[in-house]
Structures are given as C-alpha cells and as structure tokens.
C-alpha cells in the first residue's frame, strides 16, 4: 500500500477495541497512523502488524492522563510525519459500583483517563491544528452514557457526559474563529471490546451489574462496523456520531423529564434494547 502522502491520524487507546478498529479502517483508507496506548506490548504488536502490511505507522506508548506524555505524542507525530489531520481522543476505562462505595482513587482514575485524556488531547493538538491553517478533525469518544445515565456507572456517566459537553463547546469555539477544524463526538452503545477488563469491582451489586454489562458489550457491534460509520460521519463533517439504534426512547424520556421537571426513571430494558440493537 502506497500511502506516503496520506492524511495523518493520531489514535489513543489504539491497541484494542474501538481504537484498533478505527486504526484498521484508517489504514484501509491509506492514512498514516500514530498509535497511542498504555499497553506497550499490545501496541507494538499491532503496529508491527500494520507495518508488515505496508502501512506507515508509528507506536507511541502514552498515558493520556499525563499532559507531558500527550505533548510528546504530538511532537513525535510532527517529527515523524510533519503534521496531523485527524485526532481521535479515544482511550477510556470502566468502573461500576454504587457511587458512594467507589473509592477516591477509582474516581480519580476515571476522571484522569476518560476526561483528562480528552482535555490533554485538545490542549496539545488544537493549537497545532490552528497553526497548520488547514482542514483537520477532532473526534472525541464519549458513549450513549454521555446522553443518558444508568445506575452503578456514576464515574463513567460523569466522564462521558463531560466529554459531550467539552466537545460541543469546542465545536462552538472553532466555529466562532472560522477555523477549518471540525469536531465530532462519538456516542456508541455496546461495542465488542475488552473494556470491562479495566473495571475494578467494589461490591456485590457492582459485580452483578458488571457481568450483565460485560455480556452486553461482548455481543455488541464490531469495532470494524463502528469504524466504517465513524469515517462516514467524518467525511460529512457531522458532529453527532450515534452508531446504535434503540436508545431513542431512553433519550426522549430523559429530555421529557427535564422539560416537564418530573423525576427521572431508569428502565433496565434500555440496556437490553441497546444489546439487541448492536447485534
């Protein structure tokens, strides 16, 4: 594959799951890739696989919660490829349990990876995009949990809803500047991945719920199918990327609750509907 002059995509959380799916699809489109993850061994193995297939790819072990490491990721990308066209702030972890029983350290871990990772990516790369003065795109991975809340997922709900708010704000700010930089927020339902391996169960309720959630995720949409929808949305410069169907009743119920100022109600069938929609 000759992709010497293809666009450059930086993808965090690239060693597995959604990130790997995005990277594989980007490679098919002839893009040059910078792959970031904390899993050094998995990252290098995947990068070597791409290199063997003729893809121009660079592995950069990165803890997205550390601003200095994200800045190093940016600098290595520029040194290696000369610039950046697409930034996927994708790295994420999971935590289940009653919100009052989740430890401070577990809360901090979720905030650091799921939210600070996106903040650090924006702070490191958006000034570069503005200096480049050409079309670029930021894609932040949130979740349907960024739009509707579930019990026993407080840190995940909080961080993903914050990512949605941050993405909207960034979209407005870049539009105010007339910058050629687009923003998308990805809000998928269940996607087949190993994200539940990052879960640190803290109580019996969290354990039972995490088992249900793990089963739902493992039966979810394939990362490849998700990636195809994501890149289609990027081509259209769409802000909202909502790959799954079946979540609309839950979102409508939440919006109606807000507008009518009625107490919110969670229905477990929403999780089950998301699972069936993802198959």
Q: How far apart are CA 111 and CA 116, in angstroms?
A: 6
What radius of gyration, in Å, describes the C-alpha atoms of the chain? 18
Q: How far apart are CA 222 and CA 18, in angstroms?
A: 8
Q: How far apart are CA 118 and CA 46, in angstroms?
A: 23
Q: How far apart are CA 277 and CA 279, in angstroms?
A: 6
Q: How does residue 206 score in pLDDT terms, banded at 50, 70 and 90?
A: low
pLDDT of residue 214: 65
209 touches 157 (CB < 8 A)? no
Q: Please return the burial class of 235, using the count of CB atoms within 10 Å of its CB with bins 0-12, 13-18 and 19+.
A: exposed
Structure tokens, 68? 């200095």
1 touches 54 (CB < 8 A)? yes
Give the homologous superfamily in CATH for domain 8-278.
Answer: NAD(P)-binding Rossmann-like Domain (3.40.50.720)
pLDDT of residue 3: 43
**In which residue are the tokens 């919100």 written?**
99
Residue 53 CA to chain centroid, in angstroms? 25
Of 257, 225, 246, which is closest to residue 25 (Cα–Cα)?
225
Q: How far apart are CA 109 and CA 102, in angstroms?
A: 11
Stretch 150-160: mean pLDDT, rounded?
A: 95
Q: How far apart are CA 56 and CA 193, in angstroms?
A: 25
Sketch the domain layout of the chain as residue ranges.
Answer: 8-278
- Give the mean pLDDT of the chain: 91
Of 83, 248, 92, 76, which is closest to residue 158 (Cα–Cα)?
92
**pTM: predicted TM-score of the whole model, two decimal places:** 0.91
Q: How does residue 276 score in pLDDT terms, banded at 50, 70 and 90?
A: very low
Stretch 220-245: mean pLDDT, rounded?
A: 95
Residue 84 CA to chain centroid, in angstroms? 18
Taking the CB of residue 129, how many other CB atoms lie within 10 A of it? 23
Q: How does residue 193 score in pLDDT terms, banded at 50, 70 and 90?
A: confident
Q: How far apart are CA 165 and CA 107, in angstroms?
A: 19
Instruction: Indicate the DSSP class of residue 97.
Output: B
Q: How does residue 204 score in pLDDT terms, banded at 50, 70 and 90?
A: low
pLDDT of residue 278: 36
pLDDT of residue 78: 98
Stretch 150-176: mean pLDDT, rounded?
A: 97
Of 186, 188, 190, 166, which is closest to residue 239 (Cα–Cα)?
186
Q: Please return the burial class of 197, using the count of CB atoms within 10 Å of its CB with bins 0-12, 13-18 and 19+.
A: exposed
Q: How far apart are CA 57 and CA 8, in angstroms?
A: 9
> How many angstroms separate the first and last alpha carbons of the chain?
32
Stretch 122-142: mean pLDDT, rounded?
A: 98
pLDDT of residue 4: 63
For 117-180, strand residue ranges (E) read: 136-141
Answer whether residue 209 shows pLDDT above 90. no
Annotated catalytic sites, by residue? 156
Q: How does residue 200 score in pLDDT terms, banded at 50, 70 and 90?
A: confident
The string of pLDDT tens digits covering residues 87-131 is 999 999 999 999 999 999 999 999 999 999 999 999 999 999 999
């Amino acid at each position: 594959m000759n992709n010497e002059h293809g666009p450059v995509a930086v993808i965090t959380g690239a060693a597995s799951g959604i990130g790997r799916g995005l990277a594989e699809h980007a490679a098919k489109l002839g893009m040059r890739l910078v792959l970031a993850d904390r899993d050094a061994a998995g990252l290098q193995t995947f990068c070597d696989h791409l290199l063997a297939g003729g893809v121009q790819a660079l592995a950069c072990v990165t803890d997205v919660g550390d601003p200095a490491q994200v800045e190093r990721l940016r600098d290595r990308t520029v040194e290696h490829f000369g610039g950046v066209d697409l930034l996927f702030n994708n790295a994420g972890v999971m935590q289940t349990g009653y919100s009052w029983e989740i430890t401070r350290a577990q809360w901090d871990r979720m905030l650091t990876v799921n939210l600070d990772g996106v903040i650090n990516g924006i702070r490191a790369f958006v000034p570069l995009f503005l200096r480049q003065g050409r079309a670029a795109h930021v894609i932040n991975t949130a979740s349907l949990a960024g739009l509707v809340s579930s019990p026993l997922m407080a840190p995940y709900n909080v961080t993903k809803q914050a990512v949605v708010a941050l993405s909207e704000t960034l979209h407005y700010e870049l539009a105010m500047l007339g910058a050629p930089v687009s923003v998308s927020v990805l809000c998928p339902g269940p996607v087949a991945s190993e994200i539940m391996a990052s879960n640190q169960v803290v109580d019996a309720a969290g354990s039972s719920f995490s088992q249900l959630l793990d089963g739902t995720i493992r039966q979810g949409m394939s990362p490849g199918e998700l990636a195809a929808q994501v890149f289609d949305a990027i081509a259209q410069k769409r802000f909202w990327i909502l790959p799954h169907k079946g979540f609309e009743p839950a979102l409508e119920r939440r919006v109606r609750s807000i507008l009518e100022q009625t107490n919110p109600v969670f229905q477990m069938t929403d999780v089950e509907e998301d699972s069936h929609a993802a198959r």
